[in-house]
Each structure stands twice: as structure tokens, then as C-alpha cells.
Structure 1
Amino acid sequence: MKTQIELAREGVVTKQMQTVAADENMDAERVRDGVAKGQIVIPNNPFCKERKVVGIGRGLRTKVNASIGTSSDICDIDLEVRKAVAAEEEGADTLMELSAAGDLDAVRRAVLAATSRPVGNVPLYQAFKETIRRTRNPAKLDPEYLFDLIERQLVDGLSFMAIHCGINQYTIRRLRKQGFRYGGLASKGGTFMVAWMDMNGKENPLYEQFDRVCSLMKKYDAVLSLGNGIRAGAIHDSHDRAQMAEMIVNCELAEIGRAMGCQTMVEGPGHVPLDEIAGNIMLEKRMSGNAPYYVLGPIPTDVGAGYDHVTAAIGAAASARHGADLICYITPAEHLSLPTEADVREGVRVTRLAVHIGDLSKYPERRERDRQAAMARRDMRWGDLQDLLLFPEVARAIRDSRRPEQSKTCTMCGDFCAMKKGMEIFDKEISGDKVANLG
């Protein structure tokens, strides 16, 4: 089976490319060209039947990922399934199943069965969990078992995988020479791989046998997401030598993977001050040949716990504006606890809002919906306005709970309504494209 990128290079416009083009209201040949260059990826594992086709990359709408999964403290498969369903209902484009406790095969398969969205994971979680269960020592992880596990997970129908190939002995030496970090290490899979390398005195097998990783991903036309296990977990660590060393390696690997016919994207941080986000994305795009960039947040301050969904939304809007292609949501529970179903819903909503804001700047030609919403608000056409909103049911519930005396106004201003007075003064002067088309 040829991959999407291999077919695109042969000039073939696949059904998946046609679907992406239709969803994005763009020419299918433009999508094919982006896939051929490795600037757009389309997860296409044939084992994930009836999965929504999602394009990620340059020129496309910025996508939102929702991560779910068990922990050693809270391990409830039914809860994770409900969270997966909630994320899809709220409009997440992709899911990551990141369980680290319980029967991981059962959790993964239950989530895959419950959603139509492309699902990804981090195979190192299960690899180290199962190794610890069997041997009580993560240093005894067998690389052959790791590769076998990756294929077993792909057979289940995963569409993409965050695989920590960019961690190597060079990046670890950077951590040691710079005196470690203010915020430590933030990646679970990455940290366990660092520990494995340290205890065994060996190179990361995922880096050392990168061609084998690519061959497995190609076999199932799944997207290889080059994980950032050395990402900064504090803004004071942002763009330190260790993070940059891993980013350079990941961008090189993205280029190698593309040449092999493997769909690849690069993962980014993490905790990043607002003024560094544009530079971070510029570096990834420049060094990787514009490979799709999957950004985790980012979180531009370290003191927002409890509201880190808002903190991350600020970073996400800036990231989308400067060229990030997939944003992993953050929930209100980030840094504090495993998220609930309600946390998942809130996290998806604020991230969707954030990437919409970013896309308005990235693609100014796509502002028509906002123009129509502004005119509906001006004309006090509440039903039309609510239909144009990202979250119409939320807006309706708020308005219905506080009904005004005059149906055209709202209880914020009542008789002192600026919109109502403005229309009374300028109604006859409205002209051109400022006239609402109600047909």
C-alpha cells in the first residue's frame, strides 16, 4: 500500500485529498501539492474504518486535538470513553489516547470504537508500563518489544503516533551541561526514555533505528508525530540548548521520514513566553521544510493553574496566527489533576475559539462569518447571531436565563442599548456590503 505522500508525488489526487479540499473549500490540486511536499498530512490508517478524514498543515484551518487517558490514581474506561465522546461532540478534530494505567489495550480499543475522529497515542507509555509490571524496572525495556508494540497499536487503528525519536545522547548532554532546568522535565514518555538511556548507557533505539520507525508508520499510512520529550515545562527553560537540540534533530528526522515516503509532523513546546512563540514556529518551519507543526498549548506563563485553559488559549491563538497547524488543548485541570468530562468540554471550546482567532489573522480572507455575526448583532437579529456563533447553545442558554423586557435588546444595556439607538439614527444610510443579505 502506498502512502498519501507517495501517491501525491505520483500526481494522484486521492479520495482523502478530495475530502480535505472540500472541507477546506480549496482546490484539490493544492492539497495534493501540499501533501507531496510534506507540508500537509492526512492520517489514513486502513485499519481505522469510517474515520473522519482530517487534513493538517499549511493553508488549512488550524486543527484542535483533545487528549484523554487514565492515570494510576483514576482509572475508569467508561469515563475515558465519555470524555472521547464529549471531545468529539464539542468539535475536536483529533484525539490522543494517553492512558498510563489499567488494561491499556482495552482502553485504547474502547476509545477507538467510541469516536469517528483520528486517534493517536504515545507508545512509550504502554511500553514502560508493561515493562515495569513484568520486571519492576523500566531499564529492562526491550527495544524489540517496543517495536512490536508500536505495530500492535497500529493494527488497532491508530491514525498517528507521538514517538520520541529526537531524544539522543547529544540532547541529554545538553541538559547536564546547562545545569538541568528550572521546571524539570514535562514529558512522561520522554523522561522515561532519558532514564532508560542513562541506566543502560545506550542510544535511544527510536533514534538509532529511525528507518524502522518510518517503515512501520508507512505500512499503515499513519502520521509520525516527532514528539518533543525535552520540551520546556517552564517559561524560563524555553529555547534552552536541550530543547533546541531536540528540535533540530526532529526537524532533520522529519525531512528523512518524508524522503522515505512517511507522513511526518513535528511537535513543539510546551511553556513558551508570548514574545517567543512567533520565533519558535519560524524555526520549526524553516528547519523542517514547513512540516506540519503540532503545538502543545503553548502555555505562556507558569502561574495560571486552575485557569490554564485560558492561559493556553492565549498561546494557542498566537501559535495559530504564526503558522502552527494542530493545537493540543489544555483543560482547567492542567497541572492539577486528571480532567473530568466537563473539563474536556471546556478545554475543547476555548481552544477552538483560540485557533479561530489565530486563523482570522493567518487567513484574513476567511473573516466572512465574523462579518455576518457583527451585522446580526448590529441589527439585533438574535436568532441569526446565535446560529453564527461557535457555541450557539451556550449563548442561547445565557440569553434565555436573563430575558430583557424588550425582545430586541439584552439585559446588559436594556433601555440604554447602543445598537438600538444607532440603528434608529443610521438605518437609512446603511449601504453596500453593510446591508445584511437575509435571503
Structure 2
Amino acid sequence: MQTYTTQMNAAKQGIITDVMRTVAEKEHMDVELLREKVAKGTVAIPANRNHLSIDPEGVGEGLRTKMNVNLGISKDCNDPEMELEKVRVALDMGVEAIMDLSNYGKTEQFRKELIKMSGAMIGTVPVYDVFGFFEKELKDVRPEDFLAMVRKHGEDGVDFVTIHAGMNKRASETFLENPRLMNLVSRGGSLMFAWMRLTGYDNPYFEYFDDLLDICAEFDITLSLGDACRPGGLADSTDASQIQELITLGELTKRAWAKDVQVIIEGPGHMSMDEIKANVLLEKKLCHGAPFYVLGPLVTDVAPGYDHITGAIGGAIAASAGADFLCYVTPAEHLRLPTVEDMKEGIIATKIAAHAADIAKKTPHARDWDNQMSKARVDLDWNRMFELAIDPTKARAYREHAELEDETTCSMCGKMCAILNVKEALK
């Protein structure tokens, strides 16, 4: 009987796993084709063998664009119950992934509860947890502490981990030689940069990358290779630091695949619209077709309070150009920890971006949803329109607050309704 250690290892052996069958059915894809993509690395299925409640999803080439929601406990908002309420709402709204970015106190209990209740894949940034867990100052953290925390997250059932392995000495030298307006805005990346400066050592995730891969293979953790040099403002996009790190991530991707560890590449960030397509092309070229995960990109820096919109614009462009995974952005970005309502707005905006991109990419059956809505509209079937709406609650509320002369039409057109008049004329 054939055995396998990871989904990629199984795929390379020609084994079709139950996880692959589930994803193939969701994607309307031939399971053998999906297996080939997993073996090649152009599709990743983050599914830690210890995450027993997972309803697996695939991320990558030819699949629906997936969405991630960030949440977690911070020192200024130390309210685990509020964060768990966000989890419940996000799951009800159908998100495919949740990242626990908790960075204060003993986060293990919250993480375990999140994994237990979630069918969505769970991601973390283990470096956030190092300082609270080991109760050490940054300069006192040892290389083995960073690796031990990845193992701990793997044991708990985390499906993908953000690891800033590309922020090595070479990348830090490039950053120092090429000044930026915004410097480094990646929290994990800045911690690794500061640790290297304080200790004089190279990044342990880079220096001991093979040991990291062994941990990932043991639990089938997908590596989400973080972009420590992602631009935090338009002025810094597509610069030497960002590209130098991306080259390193491409090299690390090949090493991970050689050990049957799945990889996702994280990307920008803030970026003007005309640069987005080129950045997707660069990632796909330099990282050998590995799935691409983007934060936004945010296409302008001047819209605090509306960055769910700037992110949705960039996300739609990126995904239509080939990005595979969108990290949502809320109206609270740059301002505060998002509330449940902020999170809802971010989810809806990102869902719109992902679906619009899937239509453009001609993802199988993506347009069917829109055709059903058009049919409901031509039939003036309002209840069916609400059922199909990406946000049924808001759509229904808008309709209910209208003062209608004719219940079959809307309050904008009334008796001049084009649909109604053409129907009458055709009779």
C-alpha cells in the first residue's frame, strides 16, 4: 500500500487523496488534473493533518480566487470573545481562510479554539508568538526558539504559516542600500530585520530552512513565504528590495518542493494600478508558478476609512492577472483593529473583487451566478434577486425602505421601467 507524508508527496506518487477529491468537486475540475497541479506546485491545498474539522480548499492555477480574513488579539484590544465572534461571522459569510494574527499574551488557547471550530483553513505568523510564549526580549530569542514555535503551531493544527525567510542578510543589505519612503511595514519582516541587527546572525528561517521544511512536512503545513519588503506606500513599489526578496523566495520555493512542502508566495502591498499586472507576472516567473497571495494591493495611499475599496480595486486587477488568493482589507486599515462590522464590509468588498476576477479569468461556472441574477431581474423576481445577492441583507433593506408606486418595479424608474415596458411591447 502506498503511503504519503504531504498532499504534494501523494500527488507526486500518483495518489489521489480524499482532500484532493473534495477540492476537485468544489472546483468542477477533473481530479487527475488537480493532482498534477498539486504535484507541480501550481496548486496548494493547505490542510494540516491535525486540523480535523477542516473543509479543504485549493489555492492556485485554474481555481476560484480565495479570500483570507485577518483577526486576532492585540494588547490594546485584548478581547478573545470579540475575536471569536468575528470568526463565527466570517465562517457564516463563507470565507475560505482565517489568519490568527494574535500578538499579545498567551495566544495558544485562542488558536486552539479557532482551529477546533473552523472548517476554513487557518494561518498564523509564528514569529508573533515567540516573544509571549518564551517571555523573552527580541535580542534574547535564540534561533531554535523560532523553529520551535513553528512546530508548536503545527502540532496545534495550523494549515499555513507565514515565514519571512526572504529577509536574510542579503535582503537587508539591499534595503539599506536603497532607501525607502516607508522603510519596512511588514510586522514579521521588521521583527526579523531588527533581530538580525541586534544579534548579528542571519535569519534562522533562512539559515535553517531545511529544518523548517522538515517540520512543515511532518504536519503537512503549507509555507506562506512572507514578503518582508512589501511596499507600504506607492513610492516603494516594485523597488530593488521587493524584487531581491522575491528572487530569494523563488529559490526557497524550489527547495521546499524538493521536500514535498507546499508553498504560497505573499505579495504587495501598496501599488499603483499600472504596476499590478507586471508584479503578478514577476511572481509567477520568479517563483515558478507558485500560488500568489496578495494584500490588496491598495491602489492609493490617501483613503483611510475606505481602504476596503482601494484594496478591492487592486485585488480585482491582481486576481484577474493571475493572483490566486486575496487577503481582505477593511475600512479600519491603518486606523485601528477592525470591528465585526468593519470585517463584514471588508469581506463583501473582497468577495466582489474575487468574483469579478474569476469572471475575467473564465474560471469554470463563475459567470453562472451572474446569469442567474440577470434572469431574476428580467423576471422582476425580487425575492430571487435577494437570494442571489452577495449581501442579501443589505439588498433587501434597501428595497424595503423604498416608497413604491408599483411593487413590481423600483423607485428609480417606476412606470418607466425598461424591463417592464419591453416585456409589454413584446407581448
TM range (shorter): over 0.9
RMSD: 1.4
Aligned-pair CA distance for 1:414? 1.7
User: Which amino acid is 1:346 matched to?
Assistant: E
2:354 aligns with 355
Deviations 1:376-416 (A, max 9, x none): 21231212222222222321222123252312101122222
Aligned-pair CA distance for 1:172? 0.8
Residues 1:403 and 1:48: Cα distance change in structure 2 (over 3 Å) = farther
- Quote the Cα distance in structure 1 between the aligned partners of 2:108 and 2:339: 21
- Quote the Cα distance in structure 1 between the aligned partners of 2:22 and 2:190: 38
Aligned-pair CA distance for 1:355? 0.6
User: Which amino acid is 1:146 matched to?
Assistant: F
SS of the residue 1:174 aligns to: helix
Aligned-pair CA distance for 1:213? 1.0
Deviations 1:332-362 (A, max 9, x none): 1000000111111111111011110111101
SS of the residue 1:65 aligns to: strand
1:52 aligns with 55
2:264 aligns with 265
Query: Given the alignment of the two structures, is residue 144 of structure 1 paired with residue 131 of structure 2, yes or no?
Result: no
- Quote the Cα distance in structure 2 between the aligned partners of 1:246 and 1:403: 57
SS of the residue 1:367 aligns to: helix
Aligned-pair CA distance for 1:184? 2.3
Aligned-pair CA distance for 1:74? 0.9
2:184 aligns with 185
Percent identity (aligned): 39
- Quote the Cα distance in structure 2 between the aligned partners of 1:359 and 1:403: 36
1:418 aligns with 418
**Matches of residues 372-411 of structure 1 in structure 2 within 5 Å?**
372-411=372-411
**Matches of residues 31-180 of structure 1 in structure 2 within 5 Å?**
31-130=34-133, 134-135=135-136, 137-179=137-179
- Quote the Cα distance in structure 2 between the aligned partners of 1:156 and 1:407: 54
User: Runs of 5+ in structure 2 lacking a partner?
Assistant: none
SS of the residue 1:239 aligns to: coil
- Quote the Cα distance in structure 2 between the aligned partners of 1:43 and 1:175: 31
2:243 aligns with 244
1:435 aligns with none
1:337 aligns with 336
- Quote the Cα distance in structure 2 between the aligned partners of 1:2 and 1:275: 42
- Quote the Cα distance in structure 2 between the aligned partners of 1:237 and 1:244: 11
Aligned-pair CA distance for 1:110? 2.4
SS of the residue 2:252 aligns to: helix
User: Which amino acid is 2:308 matched to?
Assistant: H
- Quote the Cα distance in structure 1 between the aligned partners of 2:83 and 2:309: 23
Residues 1:36 and 1:398: Cα distance change in structure 2 (over 3 Å) = same
User: Which amino acid is 2:359 matched to?
Assistant: L
Conserved? CA contact 1:80–1:111, under 8 Å = no
Deviations 1:128-174 (A, max 9, x none): 3445xx34x31111111221111111111101100111111111111
- Quote the Cα distance in structure 2 between the aligned partners of 1:377 and 1:73: 47
2:279 aligns with 280
1:207 aligns with 206
SS of the residue 1:265 aligns to: strand
1:431 aligns with none
Deviations 1:414-434 (A, max 9, x none): 222222122222x35xxxxxx
- Quote the Cα distance in structure 2 between the aligned partners of 1:161 and 1:209: 16
**Matches of residues 427-438 of structure 1 in structure 2 within 5 Å?**
427=426
Aligned-pair CA distance for 1:364? 6.3
Q: Return the TM-score normalized by structure 2.
A: 0.96
- Quote the Cα distance in structure 2 between the aligned partners of 1:72 and 1:384: 45
- Quote the Cα distance in structure 2 between the aligned partners of 1:102 and 1:418: 60
**Matches of residues 245-324 of structure 1 in structure 2 within 5 Å?**
245-324=244-323
1:432 aligns with none
Aligned-pair CA distance for 1:189? 1.0
Deviations 1:306-336 (A, max 9, x none): 0000110001101110111110000110000
2:5 aligns with 2
Aligned-pair CA distance for 1:115? 2.0
Deviations 1:20-75 (A, max 9, x none): 11101111111101101001111121111121111111000000000001222111
- Quote the Cα distance in structure 1 between the aligned partners of 2:354 and 2:47: 24
- Quote the Cα distance in structure 1 between the aligned partners of 2:145 and 2:198: 18
Conserved? CA contact 1:309–1:332, under 8 Å = yes
Q: Return the TM-score normalized by structure 1.
A: 0.94
- Quote the Cα distance in structure 1 between the aligned partners of 2:29 and 2:12: 19
SS of the residue 2:326 aligns to: strand
